[in-house]
Amino acid sequence: MSEFLQHLINMLVLGGTYALLGIGLTLIFGIMNVVNFTHGVLYTFGAYIMFIVVQQLGLNFFLALPVAVLAGWLLGAAIELTLLRPLRGSDIDTTMLVMIGAWIAMQSGTLWIWGGVAKSVTTPFPEAPLVLGPVSVSWLRLFVLAAAAMLILVTYLLINKTSLGRAMRATFQDHDTASLMGVNVDMIYTSTFAIGSSLAAAAGALLGPVYVIFPQMGDLAAVKAFAIVILGGLGNITGAVIGGFILALAEELGAGYVSSGYRDAMGFLIIIAVLIFKPTGLFARAERVG
């Protein structure tokens, strides 16, 4: 029983960051119809920003998260402006392959700059975990959960309570009509990609110190993000949050009770099962953002 409770605690921590990854991708996928293969690189990028700020510049750990969000936002906007905007109107395969090209180039760039040796980040949290009866959780993981929850809330408010969010939802429903109503669709696309990228960078910055940081860390994160998006349904933020926790639970239980070697297979098995039995996602309302 206590083992099961421990898995639940781990699921909460992991699920929060997975939800961040999923929200970022579901916004981009849903609004822009772009299969974003650079999402994993942005995750890696966020983790390396954490490493630079904390280890190389020696600055405060808590400062690193906002820096990573901002850097992810800027890099995302740059990718959208240089690669996606000129390809507006091309078919989905072309943009997807350009994103694959960008992913290969950027990941190799990371490898070139920082090398393949895994990096770790020292955190200001005490070594001893917080013990709650039969289960324990490290302070770092608690911080990760709290920060992820806060970012999820901010994004939810941004989409549902601001005029930018309203324009994004309108663009998702029908970009032609949105454009006729005076929404600057190009600007919405750039903002969407930048916001999605900053969330991926935030997820990387949060999970980087929990594990280790290396150039290929984003590959699996990207596929997991796709699994979450498919679970939750396209453009569905609440679905992405629930999908993130379901994936985390499946991984925890799979690793705990089946075999730790198959932990990462859970995401893929979920993708295959959902798409075969319920291709619209588990929480499909009529397709809309929100």
Partner 1 sequence: MKAIITILAVAALASVPLWLRDPYLLNALITTGIFVIGAMSLNLLLGFTGQLSLGHIAFFGIGAYVSALTSLGFDIGLPGDIRLVHAPWPPIAGFVLAILVAGLCGYFVGLLSFRVRGAYFVIVTISFAEVVRLVALNWVELTQGPLALTNIPSIALPLPGFGELMLRTKMQNYYLVLVVALTAYLLIARLVHSHFGRAMRGLMENETLAVSVGIDVTRTLTIAAVISAAIAGAAGSLYAHYIRIIDPEVFAFINTVTMVIMVISGGKGSLAGPVVGGLIFGLLPVALRPVMAPEAQWIAYGGVLMAILFVLPRGIVPSLALRFARRRSGKTALAPVALPETGVKEPA
Residue 142 to residue 48: CA distance in whole angstroms: 21
Residue range at the interface with partner 1 (CB under 8 A); choices 53-61, 83-91, 138-146, 174-182: 83-91
Task: In angstroms, give the least distance from the CB of 108 to partner 1.
Answer: 4
- Please state, in angstroms and rounded to a whole number, the distance separating the CA atoms of residues 196 and 238: 15
Which of 21, 80, 26 lies closest to 47 in space, CA to CA? 21
Q: How far, CA to CA in Å, does 40 sit from each of 17, 202, 220?
A: 13, 12, 8
What is the C-alpha separation between 45 and 92, in angstroms, rounded? Answer: 25
Please state the closest distance from residue 253 (CB atom) to partner 1, in A.
16
Q: Which residue has the tokens 């453009």?
A: 235
- Interacting positions 20-59 with partner 1 (CB under 8 A): 29, 33, 35
Q: Does 287 bind partner 1 (CB under 8 A)?
A: no
Window of 42-50, 98-106, 156-164, 180-188 that interacts with partner 1 by CB under 8 A: 98-106
Q: How far is the CB of 137 from partner 1 (least distance, A)?
A: 28
Amino acid identity of residue 242, one-letter, is I
The residue range among 12-20, 162-170, 197-205, 264-272 that interacts with partner 1, by the rule CB under 8 A, is 264-272
Q: What is the DSSP string of 66-94?
A: HHHHHHHHHHHHHHIIIIIGGGTTS-HHH
Among 93, 127, 176, 182, the residue binding partner 1 under the rule CB under 8 A is: 93
Site for partner 1 in 190-219 (CB under 8 A): 219
Query: Between 103 and 132, how does the x/- string for binding to partner 1 read (CB under 8 A)?
Result: xxxxxxx-xx--------------------
The encoded tokens of residue 265 equal 């297979």
How many residues does the structure list for the chain? Answer: 290
Using CB under 8 A as the binding rule, the residues of this chain from 243 to 262 that contact partner 1 are: 259, 261-262
User: Rounded CA gap, 131 and 245, in Å?
Assistant: 23
Tell me the two tokens of residue 22.
């999923």
The residue count for binding partner 1 (CB under 8 A) is 43
List of residues contacting partner 1 (CB under 8 A): 29, 33, 35, 83, 86-87, 90, 92-94, 96-98, 100-109, 111-112, 219, 223, 226-227, 230, 259, 261-262, 264-265, 267-269, 271-272, 275-276, 279
